[in-house]
Amino acid sequence: MESITDPYLIAYPRIAAVADREGKCIELIEFFDCTGGAMWSKYHYAKSPVVTSVRNVAGTMRYHCTPGKTDLALEGSRFPAGICGAAVTEDEIEISYVGIGGGGVGASGCRSSAGGVTRCKNDPSGGGKRAGSTIWLPRRQRVLIGIDDTDTPDEGATWTLAHNISRAVEDNDSVYLSHTIVQLFPVPYRTKNCVSIVCEFASSDPSALVSRFAGLLEKYTLSDDTGMAVYRGFDPSSLLDFGRRVKRGEVSRDDLRRIDDPDLEIIMNGRGIIGAVAALPFYTSYEEALTLCNGQK
């Protein structure tokens, strides 16, 4: 007869977190294996005072949190679990969960046994117990890498190369979070579909990540016009106006040079750099990213 090692525990495959430079904003990223449990948490954890927003991105649930601690007035069925604390230090991000009943199992054992947790403390859970855990994660920085123009009319595809490089460079210091295809305005010199790519990472060593990514891109690109841009920051919305302009029509390098953002870095400055930069603010905004504009505002 088959057996289950721990029939009442579902360990999260990985939990990661990024913070802004000032430590005032946290994005908690939970990779999940059980969809039902993740959706249940999304519904209930959104009621926690330290959670400002929550959204599902592919196989992850993302919680925007503000640092602080609170006592949650838990109530069966209505508010059975939540995030009760968040804190940021120079090197770590601390998250505290609490729940009752099955919600306590998720808040305690399921989170504390997740990949990516460097240390934890948790309560015994199960039955009708109130239980929770505090986990510590490496403090990571969001790193967005945009690329464009890696293929030729005869071979290659930028979206596949971007994903394969991202998988190759992922390690304990840099977690690969997302891949977004961004539809650009179909300029005459496009290969065919005129899209660029932005790949998102949570990294505790951004410089090494960018160096390794650039090395593989230089090795495998098929084009002399490849562009690679990097945004090292929590929120790239400062680039959104430029990105939307590139989706609506053709822009010039002069337009690109007018961008004044210290978190933006140009790595490979081929013709594709305009599309590479334009992709950055659309990370995980799949509907807008994929929209084909007709040149009008």
Percent of the chain exceeding pLDDT 70 equals 96
Given a cut of 80, is residue 187 above it in pLDDT? Answer: no
**Which token pair is 33?**
């294996």
List Cβ neighbours of 5 (8 Å cut-off, separation of 6 or more). none
**Span 110-126, average pLDDT:** 96
The answer to whether the CB of 210 falls within 8 A of the CB of 174 is: no
Cα distance between residue 69 and residue 231, in whole Å: 31
Q: What angle do CA 57, 260, 188 make, to 5 degrees?
A: 70
**Span 150-177, average pLDDT:** 94
Give the global pTM.
0.95
Q: What is the pLDDT of residue 189?
A: 57
Q: What is the pLDDT of residue 190?
A: 53
Amino acid at 244: R
Q: What is the pLDDT of residue 295?
A: 53
Cα distance between residue 78 and residue 87, in whole Å: 26
List Cβ neighbours of 171 (8 Å cut-off, separation of 6 or more). none
Q: What angle do CA 227, 228, 229 make, to 5 degrees?
A: 125
Q: What is the pLDDT of residue 297?
A: 44
**Span 165-185, average pLDDT:** 97
The greatest distance separating any two alpha carbons of the chain, rounded to the nearest whole angstrom, comes to 69
Q: Which domains does the chain possess? A: 14-138 (no CATH), 141-290 (3.30.70.2200)
The answer to whether the CB of 135 falls within 8 A of the CB of 94 is: yes
Q: What angle do CA 56, 13, 104 make, to 5 degrees?
A: 80
List Cβ neighbours of 138 (8 Å cut-off, separation of 6 or more). 16, 91, 92, 93, 116, 118, 204
Given a cut of 80, is residue 179 above it in pLDDT? Answer: yes
**Span 107-113, average pLDDT:** 96
Other residues' Cβ atoms within 10 Å of the Cβ of residue 259: 13
Closest by CA to 132, choosing from 226, 193, 66, 69, is 69
**Span 200-220, average pLDDT:** 98
Q: What angle do CA 201, 206, 209 make, to 5 degrees?
A: 75
Given a cut of 80, is residue 268 above it in pLDDT? Answer: yes
